[in-house]
Amino acid sequence: MTLVEAAQDVLDQAAKMFVDEASAKAVSHARYRLDGPLRVAIAGKVKAGKSTLLNALVGEPLAPTDTGECTKIITWYRNGHTYEVLLHPRDGSAPQQVRFHRDDGAIEVDLGARQAIEVDRLEITWPSQGLKQITLIDTPGIDSLTDGISTRAFEFLDPEDSETAADAVLYLMKHIHASDLRLLEAFHDDSVSSPNPINAVAVLSRADEIGAGRLDSMASARRIAGRYGEDRRLRRLTQIVVPVAGLLAETAATLTQAEFRSLQQLAEVPTKEMERVMLSADRFVEAKPETPLTSLERRELLDRFGLFGVRLSLALMRRKVVQSSVELSEELTTRSGLSELQTVLTTLFVDRSDVLKARSALLVVERLCNENPELEGASRLLLEVERIIAGAHPFNELTTMAALRSGWVKGRPTDLLAIERVLGSHGSTRWQRLEVDPATSEEDLRTAAMSQLGRWQRVAENPFSSHDLSTAARVAVRTLEAIVTESRANQEASGAAAQR
Ligand SMILES: Nc1nc2c(ncn2[C@@H]2O[C@H](COP(=O)(O)OP(=O)(O)O)[C@@H](O)[C@H]2O)c(=O)[nH]1
Ligand SMILES: [Mg+2]
């Protein structure tokens, strides 16, 4: 039985047991979620760049940015066949379709006479390739935990509210603040293991601004993200810190031919001259009349690319690294950090979406059982949930990885990192776990797996290893055994095919 099937089975049992309206709704929701795409929430403070990054990930400017009534509402963006906006009122009354329109910018939703505070959430269905594998959830900023809007974003991320909680979260921050850590901690429930970095990725956002827009801004951002990634407090809460210049990524996805031509004109100005003009945003906009383009056009470029983006584009064009708008778009997507974030999302979330979704479903049942201990069968069902969680190897991998990240496991740092990798911290394919090239032959892959298997078996059995380290090593051994078995089966299958 797969993990999803096991969760399905537990939900079926729960549906028969928990018949009151609220519980029944929670169970049917959980069931519905299990079949749908993974839900990833984008959280962080106001102006961290959440909506901009959402647009970059979708590849279309759907979400309104900056301020405005609708940016205060939790908004879901899901793929579908039709264009539709559903408004879920805060008072619990039935969701209703509302009017919206879109020219070439963000979707503008007509709230009618309603205030943002009266809306629980908006659910936007939009046919989009970028939303096929994950449903993205834009959240309002969380700055002070006392103001109404922030409190709701906070409640939403809190897993107590399991009906709307996300399966995973992308947390955006410009710098680490104590309140950032508090928020992340709230998202990590203590049911499966505590604390839990398995479903969170931190993004060092607006990375282009870090070096004041200089050409080496992304390199600086990468260094800072690396340092953050080693921070003990942060490692307990998230898997990885990725720097991203969201604005540039969004622009790259929607780059126009006209913008490319404007940049071309600027690229023809002698470098020295242009450097003087580009010392600051103001200078760039107010440059001498002989600089190409009008002030307004230059301001528009700045709004779309940022100072760093303009500088980078000009450098790429001058050096003939890019010669068309398509090439520029591709290069900027990579250099903005978006490609890397997409890889991280795929390896850590999408490839593991069954595990994360099954986990979300089991947590719902666990909560219901804990809330209704007197109900007949509740303690038996709770045991079953615990048995699934304890017995399923993917969960063991995730919880062990969380324990390693929490700093609970004592051992040599290099050993701990190596175990984490085997458990899938850098992705769950065999070559990512073994840190080998994807083109490695089955035989070499198996040799690599066997050698690691021996290493961790010795650690597991070493009487001087701490108890936690032995446990972690044993989980890694189990992962490696599965890799060896799979590789042997693959080789036998291809051998048999060759003989035929
Ligand atoms: N320079 C720069 N500006 C950004 C970036 N991301 C967002 N912004 C700007 O920051 C402001 C707030 O962005 P928004 O996405 O609305 O932030 P949110 O409140 O977190 O949703 C907007 O004016 C964006 O254009 C970025 O990566 N670089
Ligand atoms: Mg926003």
Atom of ligand 1 nearest to the CA of 45: 20
pLDDT (average), residues 237-266 = 92
Structure-token pair, residue 73: 């509402």
Q: How far is the CA of 283 from the centre of ligand 1 (A)?
A: 21
Q: Give kind and range of the element (H or E) at residue 478.
A: helix 467-499
Instruction: Tokens 């990054």: give the residue.
Output: 53
Q: How far is the CA of 86 from the centre of ligand 1 (A)?
A: 26
Tell me if 208 sits within 8 A of 17, measured CB to CB.
no
pLDDT at 162: 42
3-state secondary structure of 484: helix
pLDDT at 192: 33
pLDDT at 193: 31
pLDDT at 85: 95
pLDDT at 210: 84
pLDDT (average), residues 57-70 = 88
Q: Tell me the pLDDT tens digit for each residue of 352-370.
A: 888 888 888 888 899 899 9
Does the pLDDT value for residue 194 go beyond 80?
no
pLDDT at 186: 60
Candidate from 261-270, 327-336, 339-348, 415-424 with smallest mean pLDDT? 339-348
Does the pLDDT value for residue 145 go beyond 70?
no
**Strand duo 241-244 + 200-205: pairing:** parallel
The closest ligand to the CA of 281 turns out to be: 1
Does the pLDDT value for residue 199 go beyond 80?
no
Does the pLDDT value for residue 262 go beyond 90?
yes
Does the pLDDT value for residue 124 go beyond 70?
yes
Q: What confidence category does residue 143 fall into, taking pLDDT thresholds of 50, 70 and 90?
A: low
pLDDT at 191: 36
Q: How far is the CA of 493 from the centre of ligand 2 (A)?
A: 51
Which is nearest to 440 in space by CA: 408, 483, 391?
483
pLDDT (average), residues 454-460 = 95
Q: Tell me the pLDDT tens digit for each residue of 45-55.
A: 888 999 999 99
What lies within 8 Å, CB to CB, of 492 at 6+ separation is none
Give the residue extent of every domain in the chain: 3-249+338-351, 256-327, 409-499
Q: What confidence category does residue 180 fall into, taking pLDDT thresholds of 50, 70 and 90?
A: low
Candidate from 232-241, 405-414, 486-495 with smallest mean pLDDT? 232-241
The more confident residue out of 406 and 490 is 490
pLDDT at 161: 45
Q: Give kind and range of the element (H or E) at residue 493.
A: helix 467-499
Decide: residue 468, CB within 10 A, 0-12 exposed, 13-18 middle, 19+ buried: middle
The rounded distance, in Å, linking the Cα atoms of 8 and 1 is 10
Q: How far is the CA of 306 from the centre of ligand 1 (A)?
A: 10
Structure-token pair, residue 62: 């759907």
Instruction: Tokens 């701490």: give the residue.
Output: 466
Please list the residues that pair with 479 across neighbouring strands. none
pLDDT at 397: 87
Residue nearest to atom 1 of ligand 1 (CA): 306
Q: What confidence category does residue 154 fall into, taking pLDDT thresholds of 50, 70 and 90?
A: low
Q: Tell me the pLDDT tens digit for each residue of 393-413.
A: 888 888 788 778 766 788 888
Q: What confidence category does residue 300 fall into, taking pLDDT thresholds of 50, 70 and 90?
A: very high
Decide: residue 33, CB within 10 A, 0-12 exposed, 13-18 middle, 19+ buried: buried
Give alpha helix (H) positions in 376-439. Answer: 378-391, 393-406, 413-423, 430-434
Please list the residues that pair with 201 across neighbouring strands. 170
Q: Give kind and range of the element (H or E) at residue 358.
A: helix 353-371
Neighbours of 159 (CB within 10 A): 18
pLDDT at 155: 57
Candidate from 16-20, 103-107, 198-202, 233-237 with smallest mean pLDDT? 233-237
Which residues, by Cβ under 5 Å, contact ligand 2, an ion?
50-51, 71
The rounded distance, in Å, linking the Cα atoms of 43 and 156 is 10
Angle subtended by helix axes 338-348 and 246-253, to nearest 10: 100
Q: Kindly report whether the peptide bond that precedes residue 195 is cis, defined as omega within 30 degrees of 0.
A: yes
Q: What confidence category does residue 448 fall into, taking pLDDT thresholds of 50, 70 and 90?
A: very high
Structure-token pair, residue 405: 């990240």
Does the pLDDT value for residue 221 go beyond 60?
yes
Say how far residue 127 (Cα) sits from the centre of its chain: 21
Which is nearest to 399 in space by CA: 430, 376, 373, 424?
424
Phi and psi torsions of 172, nearest 5°: -95, 135
Decide: residue 457, CB within 10 A, 0-12 exposed, 13-18 middle, 19+ buried: middle
Q: Which of 47, 204, 244, 335 has the most ligand 1 atoms within 8 A of CB, as the residue to mutate?
A: 47
Pick the CATH number of 3-249+338-351 from 3.40.50.1980, 3.50.50.60, 3.40.50.300, 3.30.1280.10: 3.40.50.300
Q: Tell me the pLDDT tens digit for each residue of 317-355.
A: 999 999 999 999 999 999 999 998 998 888 778 888 888
Structure-token pair, residue 347: 């390896």
Neighbours of 232 (CB within 10 A): 9
Does the pLDDT value for residue 273 go beyond 50?
yes
Residue nearest to atom 13 of ligand 1 (CA): 49
Decide: residue 285, CB within 10 A, 0-12 exposed, 13-18 middle, 19+ buried: middle
Determine what percent of the chain is predicted with pLDDT higher than 70.
89
Candidate from 77-81, 174-178, 283-287, 363-367 with smallest mean pLDDT? 174-178
What topology does CATH give the domain 409-499?
A: Helix Hairpins (1.10.287)
The rounded distance, in Å, linking the Cα atoms of 387 and 383 is 6
The more confident residue out of 93 and 149 is 93
Q: How far is the CA of 206 from the centre of ligand 1 (A)?
A: 7
pLDDT at 401: 80
The more confident residue out of 371 and 158 is 371
pLDDT at 447: 95
pLDDT at 160: 47
Average pLDDT, the chain: 86
The rounded distance, in Å, linking the Cα atoms of 65 and 67 is 6
Q: Tell me the pLDDT tens digit for each residue of 383-395.
A: 999 888 878 888 8
DSSP state of 130: G
Q: Which of 51, 54, 65 has the most ligand 1 atoms within 8 A of CB, as the residue to mutate?
A: 65
Pocket of ligand 1 (CB under 6 A): 44, 46-52, 65-66, 141, 206, 208-209, 245-247, 306
Which is nearest to 448 in space by CA: 430, 460, 427?
430
Residue nearest to atom 23 of ligand 1 (CA): 66
Which is nearest to 199 in space by CA: 73, 38, 307, 61?
38
The rounded distance, in Å, linking the Cα atoms of 139 and 448 is 44
3-state secondary structure of 452: helix
Q: What confidence category does residue 198 fall into, taking pLDDT thresholds of 50, 70 and 90?
A: low
The rounded distance, in Å, linking the Cα atoms of 129 and 170 is 20
Does the pLDDT value for residue 11 go beyond 50?
yes
- Give one DSSP letter per residue of 286-316, joined into a string: T--TTSSS-HHHHHHHHHHHHHHHHHHHHHH
Atom of ligand 1 nearest to the CA of 138: 21
